[in-house]
Structure 1
């Protein structure tokens, strides 16, 4: 009996010890859980100190650009335009999520578009609809901006016989060297059509004095929109032709009630307000045929206004269900001025949520950025190529080589610097291993 009591006492002691240990462990885990999840920006270009605790819905994250916080961080944030090929946090911890924000085309970081680079990221935010945090319609302020008549000018007001300017086409661009061959195409189109060009590219007219100062940072200013709305057509060429890469060049003329002459995203028809909202350069074999079409369209009010149903059809101004759904579900757009609505803050909270709730085995693929490695450009007369197409093709080939090197370095998981990277890139280029 005494022996039984002794065993019972020992068992009870062991049970209490286990219970105490588990209670202490549970409290420890809870204290860790109650601490903010840490994310760190990996960018030398952030010269200012950034370290704050942010509430992202039900989750709390600490976001910092202090590299000393890397061991405690569960997510590392990269801004694509500022990524340096010799600056990555290696060796890489298995528990850390890598997240990429890159809303630009591949012109300033050509290695980003390659799957060899993308597949090392758990989370992406790009213009592609297939990224984790898509920015496809970020430059469209709202559906109401498309349907509003704030800048609408009737056909008669745009006519060459009215008080409006006589040319029917406007070009406003200051980036004169693009992957899409924009300048070369417009130069040929000018041979067949009167075009008012106000930017530094092919300029033949000056903007009103009140608009000349810093118009590039005020692309949606009411004064500029009213001035441009007097034209029937506006040339809207993206600087690169990538699926879902759609900038203000497409949305701004639609907001004004001007018909875009568009070249760029091959998926653009998935996003236009109605089946016929723009004139697409790819529908014509060359600038000459496009000019003929624009001349006829610009003289026929019924046909011209059929491209402006988002302004004129008050019952059903936007028939594109894909666009309507996107306007309701998208998580970021440029006109959102509410607290925490900036692109970087939205991205940070999206990564915060992802780090806490999503498995680590899902990685990005090519569709998360989705730009062709061979630059696409608008077709010119007699099969001619844009002047700088060879340079852009060479740049993308180098970008592909850079991505392959980074892929190998990431798999080795050892620290490397810019000199190491450049040495390997030069070696491969000299030995013709970059093809």
Structure 2
């Protein structure tokens, strides 16, 4: 077995991240899954810095620059568990800012189809949130293991392009379906 040292891919500010913490930026407080409950429980087990409309302000220009100086992990939690529903949280917020994404939303096999291999941590990989936090502590204390989450950079980079939404995109369809289901429940049908 060939062992490769992936520490060359660690973010430049890696050594300044001295305490175990994760960050999340949220504007939508009305999640259609357990996102908010999971974040609350994680914040009882470790430091979770929350930013957004209802939390600490985080101005777009320097928001993720500030976060990436402090945190090694980013909670890329979607507000719905819809198939193929993966947003900027994974690509722009985490990958492009040198943060290891902890993902929650769509199924793990959807992330495997969309993200570089071994580039993220899925909440559902662990028996409990306590086990997840223990693993994050291990990664925080072990640069070699943490660096493996950046090994994908050997083969390319993430590029984010913003396109106009259309009704053909999974995100819009997911939002429309959730709205219909909620309306259906309100009307009592």
Tell me which interval the TM-score lies in, with the shorter structure as reference length: 0.7 to 0.9
Equivalent residue, structure 2, for 1:157: 16
TM-aligned CA distance change 1:156 to 1:183, over 3 Å: same
User: Rg bigger for which structure?
Assistant: 1
Aligned CA-pair RMSD? 3.4
How much has 1:285 moved relative to structure 2? 2.4
Q: 2:73–2:101: 8 Å Cα contact kept in structure 1? A: yes
In the alignment, which of 98, 104, 127 is matched to residue 263 of structure 1? 104
How much has 1:235 moved relative to structure 2? 0.8
5+ long unaligned stretches in structure 2: 1-8
Equivalent residue, structure 2, for 1:277: 119
DSSP-derived class of the 2:52 partner = coil
Equivalent residue, structure 1, for 2:73: 233
TM-aligned CA distance change 1:343 to 1:174, over 3 Å: closer
Q: 1:180–1:237: 8 Å Cα contact kept in structure 2? A: no
DSSP-derived class of the 2:40 partner = helix
Measured in 1, the distance between the counterparts of 2:36 and 2:126 equals 17
Q: 1:172–1:199: 8 Å Cα contact kept in structure 2? A: yes
5+ long unaligned stretches in structure 1: 1-148, 161-165, 216-220, 335-341, 351-367, 376-391, 402-424
Q: What's the TM-score once normalised by structure 2's chain length?
A: 0.75
Query: How many pairs align?
Result: 172
In the alignment, which of 333, 337, 359 is matched to residue 161 of structure 2? 333
Measured in 2, the distance between the counterparts of 1:369 and 1:207 equals 30
Q: 2:20–2:140: 8 Å Cα contact kept in structure 1? A: no
DSSP-derived class of the 2:36 partner = helix
How much has 1:261 moved relative to structure 2? 0.9
DSSP-derived class of the 1:179 partner = coil
User: What pairs up with 1:117-196 in 2 under 5 angstroms?
Assistant: 152-158=11-17, 160=18, 166-196=19-49
User: What pairs up with 1:243-392 in 2 under 5 angstroms?
Assistant: 243-251=83-91, 252-266=93-107, 267-273=110-116, 275-311=117-153, 313=154, 316-317=155-156, 333-334=161-162, 343=164, 369=173
Q: What's the TM-score once normalised by structure 1's chain length?
A: 0.35
TM-aligned CA distance change 1:196 to 1:370, over 3 Å: closer
How much has 1:190 moved relative to structure 2? 1.2
How much has 1:310 moved relative to structure 2? 3.5
Show CA shifts across 1:408-429 (max 9, x none). xxxxxxxxxxxxxxxxx96xx4
